[in-house]
Homo-oligomer: A and B are copies of this chain.
């Protein structure tokens, strides 16, 4: 899915026009992996596309989210970060490096589902549960 043809299709299928900027932004999200900020996307892109403006990056990310190609990730500090992965997953937040990792765990999801099927929260209808797992990455 990292190859350009697939990205083109991916964007086109969502009903958006395919432009070099959009391909570059999407590719950057996949390349960087660490849930980049808009600024990081612009930096990454600017090697090959120096003229892409930050405004366009924002607009593009906005459009992508609107079309469900990507998701926003809110962090403890004040910048929005973006995630090209839409499968249900949780996030690992490193307190030291600001790095954000993905955490997939179907067993855990199921455990939580079961838990909240019996124990239910008064006056609240659950749509989704996201774990914020806070700690730090260790070089093993």
Contacts and interface: CB of A to CB of B under 8 A. Distances in A.
A126 interface: yes
A135 B140 CA distance: 38
Interface stretch (A5-13, A22-30, A32-40, A117-125): A117-125
A106 to B, nearest CB: 12
A122 B140 contact: yes
Interface residues of A, number: 36
22 contacts: A72-B76, A92-B121, A92-B124, A103-B121, A108-B115, A111-B111, A121-B133, A124-B133, A124-B135, A125-B136, A125-B137, A125-B138, A126-B133, A127-B134, A127-B136, A129-B131, A129-B134, A130-B131, A130-B134, A131-B131, A131-B132, A132-B132
Contacts of A119: 105, 107-108
Interface string A58-96: 000000000000001011101010000000000010010
